[in-house]
Amino acid sequence: MYSSIGLLTDGPRAHASLTNTIEGLFMVGVLSSYWLFSAFINPLNPADPVWLDVYWVLAGLSVIVLLLLAVSPLDESKAQFSAKAPLMEMPRVMIGLIVRPLVLVFLASAFLYVLMEQGIGTWLPTFNREVLHLPSAMSIQAASIFAGSLALGRLAAGIVLRRLAWFPVLAGCIVAMAALVLATLPLTHGLSVRSDTNWLNAPLAAYIFPLIGLFLAPIYPAINSAILSALPKTYHAAMTGLIVVFSALGGTTGSLITGTVFQMLGGQTAFYLTLIPMALLMLTLWQLSRLSARPAA
């Protein structure tokens, strides 16, 4: 979708507007997925594989997307590589960017951010079920609070970052995330299984901990904007490729690490350990702020 934005817009304002719309719809999709999956779970037997039928719905939605793309007129002439920048040159440009200190610090920041976001988002339903002892369907639905918080946080940050520098805002967000972890996780100890658990009597942590998304949300868009603004426009396409690659690596690593710790040491420990990437992210963001303030080369 990102590769098509430039084909559909003219000028930076239109590009930014459509990008924000896509980001918003993306979060709506994430939010909806929790409820879609929970609707296919058998409440009497959560282990019933009937929930796999949800993938028929996803397959149908994919077909609809393909049909929409097939009938949508897209002028791809502007996306063709010129003789000065042939397709085979892009890997060389991306490798050349990686060796820059500014880009290395950014990639470390993006990696750490996505590691945290995916680690929490992927395993939050399991945390709700095994630690907070929520019913299976409610465990997934309650995790939608995290996605909703991400969406709300990005909308709010769009207003705040118009008036304030990005580093103080993001540093404050990291401090708030750490405080939320330290304040909320102690509330998850000593909880017992209840057969009548519902939205009215669920543990307080089920509502508070997902609000960490409010403070996670501004980080990723802000650092992407910072790195692209610090580089010449001729490098933006290659930089976007690096963003995608290292975000994917961070997301995969975060889910794997959190799941492994969850299995070996328990859910509380797994989420307590998010304090480590938070501290590392604070350091890389400080370096990114310092390096991005220098004139672009």
| Confidence tier at 20 by pLDDT (50, 70, 90) | low
Helix (H) or strand (E) holding 117: helix 101-130
Amino acid, res. 61: L
- The residues, any chain, with a CB within 8 Å of residue 194's CB and separated by 6 or more, are 133, 201
Do both 126 and 184 map to the same domain? yes
| Confidence tier at 246 by pLDDT (50, 70, 90) | confident
Contacts 24+ apart (CB under 8 A), 28-33: 28/151, 30/121, 30/147, 30/150, 31/144, 31/147, 31/148, 31/151
Residue tagged 């996670």 (tokens): 216
CATH number at residue 237: 1.20.1250.20
Whether pTM exceeds 0.85: no
**Are 112 and 250 a contacting pair, CB within 8 Å?**
yes
**Are 157 and 147 a contacting pair, CB within 8 Å?**
no
Domain assignment of residue 297, yes or no: no
State how many domains the chain has: 2
Do both 44 and 160 map to the same domain? no
Domain assignment of residue 241, yes or no: yes
Do both 8 and 108 map to the same domain? no
pLDDT computed for residue 273 by the predictor = 92
Do both 62 and 194 map to the same domain? no
Do both 54 and 128 map to the same domain? no
What are 47-86's pLDDT values in tens digits? 888 889 999 999 999 999 999 988 888 776 655 544 455 5
Do both 163 and 209 map to the same domain? yes
Residue where a domain stops, chosen among 62, 80, 98: 80
Do both 98 and 59 map to the same domain? no
Do both 32 and 131 map to the same domain? no
Residue where a domain stops, chosen among 50, 80, 110: 80
For the cut 90, the answer to whether the pLDDT of residue 220 exceeds it is no
The range of the structural domain enclosing residue 53 comes to 1-80
